[in-house]
Amino acid sequence: MRVFLNPGHALGGNPDSGFSHPRLQLRECNLALTYGSLCGRYLELAGCAVKLLQSHNLSGENPGYPCVVDMANQWGADVFVSIHVNAGGGRGPETYCYRTDGAGGQLAACIQHQLLWGLAPYDRGYVDRGIKEHPSFCVLRNTIMPAVLVEVGFIDSDDVGILTQHGDDIARAIAQGIADYWRDTKTSVPIDMLLGE
């Protein structure tokens, strides 16, 4: 199974760091890269091939940077997961897909479920914001494999405790969600996931 991971925003935060915490030295680009890198390691341990790209060029709009969508499509990824952190003061994760009744919707549901299962026990305020259609996100529209964009929590709310102290659990939850999706949809392909240990 080939998994393409896209931590949101620009590598190193230049020129786009995504959201920031109002007081702490905390930037979305760094959190997303941490979760993505750890997630990739778990998936590789489970036998997946993983490519990770954080880039200021999602779909050809900034040709000076490597193009996320093109790399995922050309590599032949089986699934695509973009990882972000939200802002606006809400609580909990939400996962976007092109269509909720398609394969991307299934993948979104698996990841959303594992995030809640893995993280909500630490903080009852970390609530389910659901899976949502967002066909205009270019990483969902222009990828040819099932694709999701997950917002793991809000950088400017009490979610920040989860985001900073449970990064490994977040990464593990995303990896387990991907594995669940694969097991549910491709039962003929064995995948040895031991992430719950």
Tell me which residues touch Zn ion (CB under 5 A): 8, 18, 84
Please identify, using beta-carbon distances, which residue of 27 and 172 lies nearer to Zn ion.
27
Shortest spacing between CB 7 and Zn ion, in angstroms: 9
Residues near 103 by Cβ (< 8 Å), separated by ≥ 6? 146, 185
Residues near 10 by Cβ (< 8 Å), separated by ≥ 6? 16, 17, 29, 54, 55, 56, 65
Please identify, using beta-carbon distances, which residue of 19 and 98 lies nearer to Zn ion.
19
- Best CA proximity match to 150, nearest among 191, 100, 97, 189: 97
Distance CA 6, CA 161 (A): 23
- Best CA proximity match to 166, nearest among 81, 93, 94: 93
Contact assessment for residue 127 and residue 115, using Cβ atoms and an 8 Å cutoff? no
Question: Looking up tokens 């630490």, which residue turns up?
Answer: 122
The residue number whose beta carbon is nearest to Zn ion equals 84
Shortest spacing between CB 8 and Zn ion, in angstroms: 4
Shortest spacing between CB 54 and Zn ion, in angstroms: 11
Please identify, using beta-carbon distances, which residue of 17 and 100 lies nearer to Zn ion.
17
Shortest spacing between CB 73 and Zn ion, in angstroms: 21
Please identify, using beta-carbon distances, which residue of 9 and 172 lies nearer to Zn ion.
9
Please identify, using beta-carbon distances, which residue of 8 and 105 lies nearer to Zn ion.
8
3-state secondary structure of 4: strand
Shortest spacing between CB 18 and Zn ion, in angstroms: 4
Shortest spacing between CB 116 and Zn ion, in angstroms: 20
Contact assessment for residue 171 and residue 35, using Cβ atoms and an 8 Å cutoff? yes
Please identify, using beta-carbon distances, which residue of 42 and 154 lies nearer to Zn ion.
154
Which residue type occupies 102?
G
